[in-house]
Structures are given as structure tokens and as C-alpha cells.
């Protein structure tokens, strides 16, 4: 449990700030949350953060968003979870809407790549620092090193899907829990403010939370279907992205291939080059990488507006896509988090989650390597020494001098913009 629970107003400021600085996709965002919540502010202890991360990794949908909701719930229960999830996503919703409108009206946006040139090596350094921190704390037993190494090789070289890797790690941890569970002095403490809080009967609470969550989730889809018909673009987008929210385990990296294929080949909402442009926009803006779904919804409405104006249809398409992508995240967390917290200290569950943590370290390392290869060796131009230097300076600054992540992001972004402008 944190040393002191922050006032709700202070937490609100933090979640809003996080929404503006959360670059780098899920790995970078998890790294930023760990650095801020665990190391800097000490609002959440290390093992509870990892416990929450493990649970979020097993859920469908964007794991970084779900982790933010879980952490907000730990601090201030339902209102904290709602505030954390909404503010984590809201800045990227507004910014990506603006960039999508500029994209469809002005064409390509090469200035974005120039403006964010320095952010990619900064994110690489953030992810590398995250691997170092997580590995130092999570890989304390030989079995954990084996699982991490196997996960690294499985995703980087064998191209196995992320859910299969996490599932295999969970199975190994459940079977051989004694090889993964924490030592006695590392055991999770039972913190009365959360773990021992009275919880109503499982069924009554589950029914209430599910009823509210499902109503909020599906009412906009039903309104769109009754208004424009079930063959209209808005209803089809609502249904499709609701389905994607339930079946795409592994976060954005697992969801994008499925969503892109269906959106391009089946629905015709956008073209393959436009899908790649949308991914580039999502990668160079703060917020979850899965925000590319909003770009798909925007272009779907723009290209198939029906009786509406293209801008109105695109805006509503972006909104219903974002709504059906993220509302399920709140449902999964509010439904499961209280029970996951009560099960902390359960030997078999601890072994399972510890193995999942080890696999996550391997997966994050593979993503850091993959990202570094693309940042430091772009195309056939050899080594990008400028990017390599920025990443090295940022990594040393965070590891040795404990530089704030915000300063690292702003500084690297400014250096990248200056280099592009002077070239």
C-alpha cells in the first residue's frame, strides 16, 4: 500500500498529466506509470503494481489503459478508476481527432515525423529502463529467468502470439508454483485499506457492475442502429469494435492486425496505406497505441457518411469507435479487481502471476530490441548515430541521475525537432 493515499484532486492532476506524456505504446506507458506511481510518488508499492499488471495482461483490450484504471481504483476506488481511465485517454482522443481531420483535408503530414523525431529514441530508452527495473525485481529465481528468456525468443524469433506466450507462462506458473512464488520476505503484505475491505456477495456485485457496464457499453450502439439502420456505418463500427474489444487479447499489438484486415478488406472503411498512416499518427501522439482504432472509425465515417456530412459522420464514427474500445476496460477492472486483490497471497495464484511477470519482462525486452533496431538502423541508411546518442543520454539520465520522464520526453522531442529543422 502507498505511504499515504494522495488527495483525489492531486491524483486528478497526475492522471491528466499522464494523458499528455504517455508516449511509446503500452510498454512505454507502463514504464512511465511505474516510474511515476511506484518510484517517484510512491503511491503504490512495487509488488502491488506488478500484481495489477499481471491481471491486466490476461485481459482483452489495451493493457496500459486497464492498468491505469486499476491503479486509479486502488487509490480512490470507482471514482479513481473512472478518472484515471478517462484522463489517460481523453487528450489523445482530442489530439487524434484534430490530426485525423487535418489528414483527410490536407493529405500527408511529414511535419509530424519531423516534430517527433526525437521521441522515438526517448521511448526506446524509457522501455530499456523499464526492462532493467522490472527484471531486477521480477527475475529473482532461475525459473523466472528461464520463462523470461523463453518469452523473449518466442515472440522475437518464433513470432508466437502474445496471448499464447502469456497463457503458457501462466500454465507453467500454476503447475510449478513453488518455483515462482516470492520468498517469505518478499511476500505481498495484506493492506487493510484495500485487501480487507468488505466486499458484497460476488453475484450481487457482479450483476450490478455488469448491468451498468453493459448498458453504458451498448446504448450508443443501439441508438446508432435505430437511427441510421443496422447497415449504417455507425452501427457497423459499434458492433465491430465491440467484438474486437472482447476477442483481441494482448493489447494493441494483437488487435491491430485483426482490425486492420477487417477494416480494409471487409468493410472498406480505409485503404492499407491509410491504415499505416493512422498507425504512424497513433505512435507519435500520447495515449494508447490502440487509439488507431479511432482513426479507423473517423475515416470509415468520412468515406461512408450516408445522409450526414463527412465531418459529422467521421466525428461520430471516431466517438463510437473510441467508446466501444475503452468502455469494456472499465467493466473488466471493476468486475475483477476487488477479487484479484483479495486473492493476493494465494500460493498458486502468486506462482501463476509471478510466471506471467517473468514472461512480460521477456516480451518487453523483445519490444525494446525490435524498437531499437528500427530506430537506430532505419532502412538501409546505416546507423542513426543521432538517435543512438539521444537514447543513450536519456537512458543514463533516467538510470544514473533519476531524471523525470517528462523532462526526458520534452528534451528529446525538442532536440529531434531542432535537428530536423536545421537539416
For residue 204 the three cell numbers come to: 450481487
Residue 368 has pLDDT above 50, yes or no: yes
Residue 201 has pLDDT above 90, yes or no: no
More confident residue, 331 or 350: 331
pLDDT, one tens digit per residue, over 162-184 is 668 878 888 888 787 666 655 44
User: If you average pLDDT over residues 357-375, what whole number do you get?
Assistant: 79
Please answer whether residues 213 and 330 qualify as being in contact, where contact means their C-beta atoms are separated by less than 8 angstroms. yes
pLDDT, one tens digit per residue, over 238-256 is 999 998 888 666 566 556 6
Average per-residue pLDDT in the chain?
A: 82
Query: Which pLDDT does position 137 carry in this prediction?
Result: 72
Greatest pairwise CA separation for the chain in angstroms: 65
Query: Which pLDDT does position 185 carry in this prediction?
Result: 40
User: If you average pLDDT over residues 337-357, what whole number do you get?
Assistant: 75
DSSP sequence for 154-218: HHHTS---HHHHHHHHHHHHHHTGGGTSPPGGGPPP--TTTTTS----HHHHHHHHHHHHHHHHH
Q: How many CB atoms sit inside 10 A of residue 167's CB?
A: 15
Query: Which pLDDT does position 192 carry in this prediction?
Result: 38
User: If you average pLDDT over residues 304-318, what whole number do you get?
Assistant: 96
Q: What would you report as the CA-atom Rg of the chain, rounded to the nearest whole angstrom?
A: 21
pLDDT band at 315 (very low <50, low <70, confident <90, very high): very high
Residue 191 has pLDDT above 50, yes or no: no
Query: Which pLDDT does position 194 carry in this prediction?
Result: 43
Query: The whole model's pTM is what?
Result: 0.74
Residue 141 has pLDDT above 90, yes or no: no
pLDDT band at 288 (very low <50, low <70, confident <90, very high): confident
pLDDT band at 135 (very low <50, low <70, confident <90, very high): confident
Query: Which pLDDT does position 1 carry in this prediction?
Result: 45
Helix (H, G, I), strand (E, B) or coil at 24: coil
Residue 5 has pLDDT above 90, yes or no: no
Amino acid at each position: 500500500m502507498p505511504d499515504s493515499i494522495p488527495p483525489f484532486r492531486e491524483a486528478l492532476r497526475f492522471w491528466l498529466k499522464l494523458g499528455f506524456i504517455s508516449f511509446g505504446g503500452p510498454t512505454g506507458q507502463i514504464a512511465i506509470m511505474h516510474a511515476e506511481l511506484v518510484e517517484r510518488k510512491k503511491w503504490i508499492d512495487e509488488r502491488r503494481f506488478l500484481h495489477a499488471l499481471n491481471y491486466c495482461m490476461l485481459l482483452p483490450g489495451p493493457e496500459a489503459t486497464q492498468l491505469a484504471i486499476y491503479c486509479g481504483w486502488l487509490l480512490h476506488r470507482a471514482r479513481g478508476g473512472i478518472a484515471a481511465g478517462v484522463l489517460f485517454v481523453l487528450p489523445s482522443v482530442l489530439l487524434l481527432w484534430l490530426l485525423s481531420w487535418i489528414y483527410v483535408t490536407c493529405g500527408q503530414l511529414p511535419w509530424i515525423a519531423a516534430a517527433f523525431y526525437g521521441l522515438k529514441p526517448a521511448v526506446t530508452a524509457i522501455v530499456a529502463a523499464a526492462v532493467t527495473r522490472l527484471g531486477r525485481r521480477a527475475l529473482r529465481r532461475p525459473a523466472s529467468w528461464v520463462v523470461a528468456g523463453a518469452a523473449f525468443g518466442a515472440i522475437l524469433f518464433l513470432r508466437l502470439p502474445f496471448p499464447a506466450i502469456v497463457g503458457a507462462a501462466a500454465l507453467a506458473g500454476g503447475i510449478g508454483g513453488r518455483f515462482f512464488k516470492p520468498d517469505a520476505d518478499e511476500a505481498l503484505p495484506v493492506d487493510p485499506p484495500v485487501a480487507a475491505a468488505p466486499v458484497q456477495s460476488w453475484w450481487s456485485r457482479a450483476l450490478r457492475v455488469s448491468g451498468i457496464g453493459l448498458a453504458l457499453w451498448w446504448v450508443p450502439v443501439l441508438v446508432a442502429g435505430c437511427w441510421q439502420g443496422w447497415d449504417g456505418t455507425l452501427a457497423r463500427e459499434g458492433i465491430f469494435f465491440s467484438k474486437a474489444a472482447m476477442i483481441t487479447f494482448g493489447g494493441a499489438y494483437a488487435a491491430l492486425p485483426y482490425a486492420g484486415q477487417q477494416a480494409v478488406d471487409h468493410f472498406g472503411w480505409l485503404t492499407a496505406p491509410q491504415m499505416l498512416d493512422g498507425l504512424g499518427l497513433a505512435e507519435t501522439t500520447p495515449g494508447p497505441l490502440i487509439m488507431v482504432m479511432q482513426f479507423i472509425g473517423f475515416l470509415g465515417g468520412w468515406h461512408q457518411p450516408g445522409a450526414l456530412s463527412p465531418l459529422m459522420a467521421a466525428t461520430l464514427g471516431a466517438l463510437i469507435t473510441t467508446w466501444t474500445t475503452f468502455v469494456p476496460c472499465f467493466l473488466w477492472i471493476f468486475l475483477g479487481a476487488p477479487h484479484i486483490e483479495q486473492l493476493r497471497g494465494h500460493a498458486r495464484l502468486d506462482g501463476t502471476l509471478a510466471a506471467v511477470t517473468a514472461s512480460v519482462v521477456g516480451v518487453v525486452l523483445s519490444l525494446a530490441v525490435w524498437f531499437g533496431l528500427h530506430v537506430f538502423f532505419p532502412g538501409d541508411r546505416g546507423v542513426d548515430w543521432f538517435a543512438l546518442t539521444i537514447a543513450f543520454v536519456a537512458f543514463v539520465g533516467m538510470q544514473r541521475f533519476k531524471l523525470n520522464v517528462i523532462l526526458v520526453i520534452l528534451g528529446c522531442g525538442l532536440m529531434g525537432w531542432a535537428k530536423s529543422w536545421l537539416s
